[in-house]
Amino acid sequence: MLRKNGLNIKSDQGITRRGELSDQIGSLVIQKPNLYFLGMPYKVWLYNLRYRHYNKDTGAVNFQLKNKTVERPVIYDSLLRRRSAINIKSFLFNRGYFYAQVKDTVRLSGKKAFVSYNINTGSKYLVGSITLDIQDSSIKKLVEDGMGDTKLKSGAPFAMTMTEEERSRIANLLRNNGYYKITQENVHFVIDTVNKSFLRDVENPFESAINFVALQKNTRKPTLDVRISVTPEEDPNSFRRYRIGKVQIFPDFIDRSDIRDTTMTQVMVDSMIFRYHNYYVREHVLASQNYMHVGDYYSQANYDLTVTKMNELGLFQYVRPVIFEDTSLPPDRSLHYIIILNPTKRYDYGTNFEVSNGSNYVLGNNVSITYRNRNWLRGGNQFTLSLSAGVEMGYNDHISDNFFKNFYLISKNAGISSTVTFPKFIVPFKPAWMRKFNQPRTILGIGYNLLDRLDYFTLNNIVANYTYSWSQNATNTWDLTPAFINILSLPHIADSFQKRLATNEFLKNSYRENFIEGENVGFTFSNLNGPNASRGYSYLKANVEEAGAVLSGINGIKSIGFNYSQYVKFDLDARHYFRRPNSTVALRFLAGVGVPYDKSSTLPYVKQYFVGGAYSIRGWRVRQLGPGSYYDSTAVKSTNPIDRVGDIRFEANAEYRFNMIQLFSGAIHLNGALFVDAGNIWLARTSSSYPGGELALDKLGQDIAMSAGAGVRADIGGLFIVRVDAGVPVKKPYIHEHSGWIIREVSQLDKSIFNSSWRSDNMVLNIAIGYPF
């Protein structure tokens, strides 16, 4: 059995780089030993108990092998050892270690094999001089002007991958400047590792050889020279610049017969020929998304951009560009460009019915109906109309002996919303920074929502917004809302809740009829689709919102006879995910700061923060924590707390997710998680109704709540994830003994998690769909 692989690496790399190099080399070793724990191959022992069953070709039996619950014994293979050594040497060569030495040996001890790979990387070459060997003056000028974008710079550590990247960059540069037939095969590199200073005395070969050896030993960082050449190869037209001579667009293409069908409608817009059977979309909409125009030099970037923009419209099942050299066109404009489009369904209807369980209700359901027109007014605009309604119910087994009669209504809601998305910026002028690859959108939205919380209040909320959305690049997205409106009205307030408002200034200001007018800007960063996403990725969303400044200015000119909110609000959601083959460490930090000013003393109800529940601090139920160190023992068991909100929120979460087993031949992946949550909410101003609820730096440590727990997640066919998390508080801000840490409870096992009464008071079971973040 293969017991161990040893890597002994001698390199001139620093400690950090050497560790990275060691990890990369270790991954190249083909045969790896079994997993040992305390010197015992326990997974092999489990395999040996039923090894006859594992050799059967049945997924129901072999899922343990696939999930690595058990392991077959790894039998030493000398051929795989030699292949590993070859892989390592090839890898080092491609990394710029041209004269690396790899020596593989094996030591046998009884029935165990210990393999060692002794590696001397030698010196890593640096890039020396870079010269261009290009006969065509026009091509040479383009390549010279574009050398500022190269990664192949003098003094940089050399790797063979740099030449591949440079070959692709140069080919794309030329194709973007009209050289339609240029490919990477036309770009060549000559690498010269001989330092010419070694051969300064060409008349004495013996002395040159001595100089070469001496200088090679004294030079820790040898350099190499790179010569780049671009040749036409076998096709002389490779060096010819091509222009677009004809552009045709088929918005409702059926088959090849459309090319010669004379019965089709034909319209010319901006030198583009549109041919269609039915008038599906306005010609100018497609013309604005095409960047290949008659008379322009061919550009690969514009070719790709046109395909991307056409797909983004969401109007077509497929977008197929065709380009070829057309001999019927003038020689100086010989490229014929055709865009073939096939329409998708214009109308879309959907219904959704949800049954849910929440931290502050037992049973909830919601039904929604959505209508969508993907091509409203034939302008590529998307019109969406949604209707929804739902209820939340509690359960009390003391109401009746009948199970169904024990359910009682907590709240009900209904809403209607509509949005129109235009595939462009609707502005009186177009700023220079709104470049063609920004994927612009203008979104108009309006909606109405009714929330009826029985025994509390009825809330009407009318919303409207005008938003610009665009992508800066592959990772950065912006949303700018120059105007949004929320109109809050409370046509009914229960007497009991009215009395509560009369004695609580914070609640009175939160639940008042209000007019909110403001603007916000949001930024989102995500490299989930980046080149290194398999090892980890980051996500960041930041939003700044202001309300009341415009109305305050108007009020200064002419008095406004209604309440309006004034605040500045900042939100941040930052995450990072460390990925490993069978596990992930997920970290999240949330921050929300709302600062009311002038006539507003708190944020309006729809803008306030709360914590707790399945997507927050999981040791507390929704709205049963905070603000600050405030504590109300009478509300702990409440099924519908509505006053545990604040103007400020800070929250941090850490979660270790790991694979466990696969069920039903991999149809369900059962995974586990360990997590820690921390944070709280605070008031922006001191309130006598919530002693200890304001944010103060000198008591911030005391106010932070913490919970910990474990969870199980069932990934059902990759479609959705059912999650069950059990969380318990480990630091309670409203307990001042031991700064809130439940040290005494944990130390007394009979009074902590092993006690049913303690679990009933402290453990929170969260059932949800999807990951918490």
DSSP assignment of 465-490: EEEEEEESSSSEEEEEEEEEEEEEEE
Structural contact between residues 515 and 551, judged by C-beta atoms closer than 8 angstroms: yes
Identify which of 362-366, 397-401, 408-412 has the greatest average pLDDT. Answer: 408-412
Helix (H) or strand (E) holding 556: helix 549-557
pLDDT, one tens digit per residue, over 554-586 is: 888 877 878 899 999 999 999 999 998 889 999
- 436-441's contacts with Cβ under 8 Å and 24+ in sequence apart are 436/291, 436/305, 437/305, 437/471, 438/470, 438/471, 438/472, 439/309, 439/312, 439/470, 439/471, 440/468, 440/469, 440/470, 441/468, 441/469, 441/470
pLDDT bin (cut points 50, 70, 90) of residue 43 is: confident
In this prediction, residue 166 carries a pLDDT of 95
Please state which CATH number belongs to domain 242-343.
Answer: 3.10.20.310
Q: What is the mean pLDDT of residues 378-400?
A: 86
Whole-angstrom Cα distance, residue 97 to residue 74? 32
In this prediction, residue 537 carries a pLDDT of 95
Structural contact between residues 325 and 331, judged by C-beta atoms closer than 8 angstroms: no
Equal CATH topology for 2-122 and 242-343: yes
Q: Which of 548, 505, 327, 522 is nearest to 443 (CA)?
A: 522
In this prediction, residue 439 carries a pLDDT of 79
Structural contact between residues 248 and 242, judged by C-beta atoms closer than 8 angstroms: no
Q: What is the mean pLDDT of residues 307-312?
A: 91
Give 46 or 322, the one with higher predicted confidence: 322
Strands in 277-334 per DSSP E: 316-325
Q: What percent of the chain has pLDDT over 70?
A: 88
Q: How many Å separate Cα 601 from the centre of its chain?
A: 37
Q: What is the mean pLDDT of residues 411-427?
A: 93
Burial (Cβ within 10 Å: 0-12, 13-18, ≥19) of residue 401? exposed
Cβ–Cβ contacts within 10 Å for residue 85, how many?
A: 20
Structural contact between residues 585 and 592, judged by C-beta atoms closer than 8 angstroms: no
Give 64 or 621, the one with higher predicted confidence: 621
Structural contact between residues 630 and 681, judged by C-beta atoms closer than 8 angstroms: no
Q: Which residue type, as a one-letter code, is found at position 411?
A: S
Among left, alpha and beta (phi > 0; psi -120 to 50; other), residue 253 is beta
DSSP 124: P
The number of C-alpha atoms within 13 Å of 244 and in the hemisphere containing its C-beta is 24
Distances (CA, A) of 271 to 165, 289, 293, 639: 37, 14, 8, 67
Burial (Cβ within 10 Å: 0-12, 13-18, ≥19) of residue 387? middle
Judged by DSSP in three states, 230 sits in strand
Question: Domain spans of the chain?
Answer: 2-122, 126-238, 242-343
Helix axes 78-94, 15-26, angle to 10 degrees: 140
- DSSP string for 130-184: EEEE-S-HHHHHHHHHTGGG-S--TTSBP-HHHHHHHHHHHHHHHHTTT-TT--G
Q: Which of 682, 679, 657 is nearest to 670 (CA)?
A: 657
Identify which of 57-61, 84-88, 605-609 has the greatest average pLDDT. Answer: 84-88
In this prediction, residue 363 carries a pLDDT of 65
pLDDT, one tens digit per residue, over 339-385 is: 999 999 999 999 887 765 554 555 677 899 999 999 999 999 999 99
Whole-angstrom Cα distance, residue 645 to residue 626? 7
pLDDT, one tens digit per residue, over 137-156 is: 999 999 999 999 998 999 99
- Is residue 281 over pLDDT 80? yes
- Is residue 501 over pLDDT 80? yes
Rounded mean pLDDT of the chain?
87
Structural contact between residues 729 and 619, judged by C-beta atoms closer than 8 angstroms: yes
Strands in 664-759 per DSSP E: 668-682, 705-716, 720-731
Q: What is the mean pLDDT of residues 471-491?
A: 93
Q: Find out whether the peptide bond into 627 is cis, omega within 30 degrees of 0.
A: yes
Sheet of 112-122: strands edge to edge?
2-11, 112-122, 101-109
In this prediction, residue 198 carries a pLDDT of 46
Structural contact between residues 178 and 242, judged by C-beta atoms closer than 8 angstroms: yes
In this prediction, residue 622 carries a pLDDT of 83
Whole-angstrom Cα distance, residue 32 to residue 115? 10
Tokens of 457: 């209040």
Residue with structure tokens 């998690």? 753
H helices present in 710-767, as ranges = 743-747, 756-762
pLDDT bin (cut points 50, 70, 90) of residue 503 is: confident
Q: Which of 630, 629, 612 is nearest to 621 (CA)?
A: 612
Strand partners, 350: 370
Cβ–Cβ contacts within 10 Å for residue 181, how many?
A: 18
Q: What is the second-level CATH architecture of the domain 2-122?
A: Roll (3.10)
Identify which of 4-13, 57-66, 105-114 has the greatest average pLDDT. Answer: 105-114
Burial (Cβ within 10 Å: 0-12, 13-18, ≥19) of residue 618? buried
In this prediction, residue 437 carries a pLDDT of 56
Instruction: Check the CA dihedral 679-681-686-691 and report its sign.
Output: negative
Alpha carbon distance, N-terminus to C-terminus of the chain: 43
Q: How many Å separate Cα 401 from the centre of its chain?
A: 50
- 671-675's contacts with Cβ under 8 Å and 24+ in sequence apart are 671/712, 671/713, 671/714, 671/715, 672/710, 672/711, 672/712, 672/713, 673/710, 673/711, 673/712, 673/713, 673/725, 674/708, 674/709, 674/710, 675/618, 675/708, 675/709, 675/710, 675/711, 675/725, 675/727, 675/772
Judged by DSSP in three states, 43 sits in helix
Residue with structure tokens 């910026």? 425
Strands in 34-164 per DSSP E: 101-109, 112-122, 126-133
Structural contact between residues 615 and 773, judged by C-beta atoms closer than 8 angstroms: yes
Q: How many Å separate Cα 430 from the centre of its chain?
A: 30
Residue 724 sits at φ, ψ, to 5 deg, of -125, 115
- Is residue 202 over pLDDT 50? no
- Is residue 636 over pLDDT 80? no
Identify which of 35-44, 55-64, 189-198, 383-392 has the greatest average pLDDT. Answer: 383-392
Tokens of 205: 């070969």
In this prediction, residue 376 carries a pLDDT of 95
Q: Which of 242, 220, 297, 274 is nearest to 13 (CA)?
A: 220
Structural contact between residues 464 and 485, judged by C-beta atoms closer than 8 angstroms: yes
Q: Which of 65, 188, 134 is nearest to 666 (CA)?
A: 65
pLDDT, one tens digit per residue, over 734-761 is: 988 888 888 666 555 555 666 777 777 7
Structural contact between residues 441 and 426, judged by C-beta atoms closer than 8 angstroms: no
Q: Which residue type, as a one-letter code, is found at position 699?
A: K
- Is residue 725 over pLDDT 50? yes
Beta pairing class for 244-250 and 272-276: parallel
The number of C-alpha atoms within 13 Å of 125 and in the hemisphere containing its C-beta is 27
Whole-angstrom Cα distance, residue 686 to residue 693? 7
In this prediction, residue 171 carries a pLDDT of 96
